[in-house]
Amino acid sequence: MTLIQTQLRPDDANPVHRTVAEVMDAAGPQVCDDMSVEVALAVMAAARTVRLVVCDQDGQCTGLVSHTELAAVRDSSDYTDRVRLRDILGDHGSFTSPVTTMAEAEDAMRTRQLGALPVVDEQGSALGILALSR
């Protein structure tokens, strides 16, 4: 995985021109989309995180799952231990580039009602996560 180094900017830097790479969080744990919901919840607990980056078997990011989403699936009446992360991923097309401006990313996230968005490189590998402050 390629690491992005962020550079600190003065507080008066124009937020319209700031890029996603400047403010994104580390990608954190990445799991395969064939993982079960129970195992994913255990990984989250061990890593002390509230979301996981989900990748396919080629290592390309396919989305994010949150603890809230996984707990809701596990607690539903339709849940079985055969449910995999790929079965519950929502909007697979929601990604952003590290060179996207914050203004563009925030607008897209608010329009699609996303609290977090994976940041991927040109090959689809996860570089980080952009999360909106509520």
Q: Return d(Cα 88, Cα 128) in angstroms, integer.
A: 21
User: pTM for the whole thing?
Assistant: 0.79
Q: Domain residue spans in the chain?
A: 20-131
Condensed to tens digits (0 to 9), the pLDDT of residues 107-116 reads 989 998 888 9
Q: Residue 27: its pLDDT value, please?
A: 86
Residue 130 φ/ψ, nearest 5 degrees: -105, 120
- CATH number corresponding to 20-131: 3.10.580.10
Condensed to tens digits (0 to 9), the pLDDT of residues 57-73 reads 999 999 999 999 999 99
Condensed to tens digits (0 to 9), the pLDDT of residues 8-34 reads 444 445 556 789 999 999 888 999 999
Which residue carries 């989250």 as its tokens?
44
